[in-house]
Amino acid sequence: MGLRRRRLGDGGAACAYIYELRSRNRRPYCHAYRERPLRRPRHRPHHRYSLPGSQMTPSAFAPRLCRCRRGSIYVVVMATALVVSVIGLSALLLQRIQRQGAERAVDATAARLAAEAALQIGIFRVRNNPNWRATYPNGVWQSNVPLGNATYTLEGIDPTDSSLSDSSAEPLLLVGTGSKGQAQQKLQVLLVPEPSTADAVEQALSAAGELRFNGARVFCNQTMGSNAQVLAVGSTVNADVRAAQAIVGGTFTRTTTPNAPARQFPEFATVLATYQSLGTPINIASLPLGFSNLLENPGIETGIAPWQPSSFPDPKCTIAQDTSVFRAGAASLKVTSRDAWNAGPIQDLTPVLQSGVTYQAAVWIRMVKTTTDAELALGYTSTGSGTQVLAGGRRSVSTSWVQLATTFTPTWSGTLTSAYLKVQTPGLLAPDFYIDDASFSEADTARTIYREVLSPGRNPFGQTNPQGIYVLDCQGAKLRIKSSRIAGTLVLLNPGPGSSIGGGPVAWKSAVPNYPALITSGDIVVNPTSTPLSENAWKTNFNPPGSPDSDLGEDTTMDDIYPSEIQGWIYTSGKLTLQQQPVVRGMILAGDAVWIEGDLTLLYNPLCRQNIPPGLSGPERFRVLLNSVSPAPQ
């Protein structure tokens, strides 16, 4: 350490010296003014000071000092800590974002797998349910169904017309939506049907057993065939006929093909099960026993109409309502002024009388004053057999009420022109008498659907079905369906012997165009007449409100007339017998023999082949349309 003397200046009387230590650890001192140390700024090592005695005070020659900022390190430390904190928080935020992204990716994968599973479930349901078009709606099939830790929603849509049940030839769009957390994936696939059809539906009539024509006249606009032989006896067949075996007898006006390959039939059990599941049951006990009375105003409670006095060419009489004498109710019919024994009250039966049908007739009668015999008479005239009169139930009658009862079985050829029921007194006398509570009905104790309307909006025997499909288990009882209008499908189970549809006019049309009109498990006779179903003749409104006809609509009157025919296809598991004058617009399938014993008009409707109804084919086969698996619109 050395001392160096410096001269500070020479403007004053004396001169002062400063000794400064050459050391970084010592401060210079002014020897002239020891009481105040002088500090040399570190950044200005050479600085001149005022001399003693000058006008400058000690403070005047103090050095110009730069003050040191002692808080700057704290600021630097805090800034550094802030940067480190920001970097740490950014790292945490980035990690959280990465974790959330990974979770969303996992949820999206789970949602997509759930959507794919929904499509596979939809395809499985379609392939394993032959009735799926009727079972599932056009829209949501399943909603928010748990699947693992995700959920799925399945939709089935007909992209053609938004109706799955109207056609088996239309495609199906399956839409699967998978959801997991906030993620949702939606996929769709288009399935194009390739239905399998039995080739028996390509013919107007197909019999698994023998096809026999007995004294028949047949017209068919398509092929009639049998998987056995075809036998015609005294018949004319205007149709193409084919058989797996021989074709024998008769007159065939068109092509015949014997020894042809057998046709494949739809599985009857499947057809039956399909429409049983779609139908509404009818209890056989709810059907009435026997047929209702064909006579109007039988108790003379509403005046005398439609009763009339006999007139020329028969003897004449006078009739009037009498409210003082009656057996039941409040009135009877009094018959007076009779010209002869066969003069009496009559009621017209021309619209309802049928050849070969047995009827039971009855009436209560009493004489005004005397005692004599009385009887019932059924008179009828036809173009082929002329005029015939049947009489029965004869017994002695006095002034007390007694009942006349008998049965009639009229037969004729040609066309019936008139028919009536009359009360007369055989013998020489023609006394006045009263009648009350008359009846005339078919002599049958079968369960009956007679002068009724059965439709989607009307079921007189129970609950209605929106598609007009009704299932009737006959339990072995005889069933007769006659003089009625049916708008729907009837499934008959176990009909008893003698069961028939017809014996009079029947207006029958399936409510769904390609659905069957009749499915029968067992044997059945279809024997409607060609006479139109007249509301006026049968005194029944066959298109009441709620049961409109496709051509005539609905009303409250009784002046409409319906053609007697069956529109729709028929399938029976047993023997089918066609009698009288049936008209069928559709198709006939029989699991056994078909016997035709009347005048059949069969007009094939290809709708069943073009638009295969439920149950008539096996489970539908689908193919996935190429490139149709794709994300669905959200």
pLDDT tens-digit series, residues 15-26: 444 444 444 444
Q: If you average pLDDT over residues 131-156, what whole number do you get?
A: 91
pLDDT tens column, 75-89: 888 888 888 888 888
The span from the CA of 610 to the CA of 573, in Å, is 23
Are 424 and 354 part of one and the same domain? yes
Are 469 and 574 part of one and the same domain? yes
The span from the CA of 101 to the CA of 478, in Å, is 75
Q: Does the pLDDT at position 6 exceed 80?
A: no
Q: Which amino acid is at 223?
A: T
Read off the pLDDT band of 626 (50, 70, 90).
Answer: low
Are 159 and 180 part of one and the same domain? yes
Which pLDDT score, from 0 to 100, does residue 86 have? 83
Which pLDDT score, from 0 to 100, does residue 18 have? 44
The span from the CA of 182 to the CA of 511, in Å, is 48
DSSP 8-state code for residue 22: S
Read off the pLDDT band of 619 (50, 70, 90).
Answer: low
Q: Does the pLDDT at position 60 exceed 60?
A: no
Which pLDDT score, from 0 to 100, does residue 620 have? 62
Share of the chain above pLDDT 90, in %: 62
Read off the pLDDT band of 9 (50, 70, 90).
Answer: very low
Total domain count for the chain? 4
Alpha-carbon dihedral 416, 442, 294, 545, rounded to 10 degrees: -100
Which pLDDT score, from 0 to 100, does residue 143 have? 93
- Which residues form the domain of 421? 308-442
The span from the CA of 489 to the CA of 568, in Å, is 9
Q: Out of 33-37, 180-184, 225-229, 597-601, which region has the weakest mean confidence (pLDDT)?
A: 33-37
Are 489 and 453 part of one and the same domain? yes
| Residue at 349 is within a domain | yes
Are 575 and 541 part of one and the same domain? yes
Q: What rounded mean pLDDT belongs to the chain?
A: 86
Domain boundary among 68, 86, 115: 68
Three-state secondary structure along 219-282?
A: EEEEEEEECCCEEEEEEEEEEEEEECCCEEEEEECCCEECCCCCCCCCCHHHHHHHHHHHCEEE
| Residue at 467 is within a domain | yes
DSSP 8-state code for residue 455: B
Are 151 and 212 part of one and the same domain? no
The span from the CA of 451 to the CA of 449, in Å, is 7
66 CB neighbour count, 10 Å cutoff: 10
Are 153 and 223 part of one and the same domain? no
Are 32 and 111 part of one and the same domain? no
| Residue at 347 is within a domain | yes
Q: Out of 398-402, 407-411, 485-489, 613-617, which region has the weakest mean confidence (pLDDT)?
A: 613-617
| Residue at 334 is within a domain | yes
320 CB neighbour count, 10 Å cutoff: 13
Q: If you average pLDDT over residues 602-608, what whole number do you get?
A: 89
Are 345 and 378 part of one and the same domain? yes
Cα 294–chain centre separation: 37
Q: Out of 168-177, 234-243, 408-417, 563-572, which region has the weakest mean confidence (pLDDT)?
A: 168-177
We report the CATH number of the domain holding residue 356 as: 2.60.120.260
Q: Does the pLDDT at position 606 exceed 90?
A: no
Q: Which amino acid is at 343?
A: A
Q: Out of 81-95, 269-283, 405-419, 517-531, which region has the weakest mean confidence (pLDDT)?
A: 81-95
Are 312 and 406 part of one and the same domain? yes
174 CB neighbour count, 10 Å cutoff: 27
Q: Most confidently modeled of 16-30, 158-172, 175-189, 460-474?
A: 460-474
| Residue at 84 is within a domain | no
Do 359 and 346 touch, CB atoms closer than 8 A? Answer: no
> 139-147 and 256-257: which strand pairing?
unpaired
pTM, entire model: 0.64
Q: If you average pLDDT over residues 464-473, what whole number do you get?
A: 97
Which pLDDT score, from 0 to 100, does residue 400 have? 95
Which pLDDT score, from 0 to 100, does residue 195 have? 60
Tokens found for residue 59: 């403070």
Are 284 and 332 part of one and the same domain? no
Which pLDDT score, from 0 to 100, does residue 618 have? 54
Can you tell me whether residue 7 is helix, strand or coil?
Answer: strand
| Residue at 300 is within a domain | no
Are 516 and 589 part of one and the same domain? yes
- Looking at per-residue pLDDT, the higher value among 487 and 267 belongs to 487
| Residue at 295 is within a domain | no
Share of the chain above pLDDT 70, in %: 86
Q: Out of 34-43, 493-502, 506-515, which region has the weakest mean confidence (pLDDT)?
A: 34-43
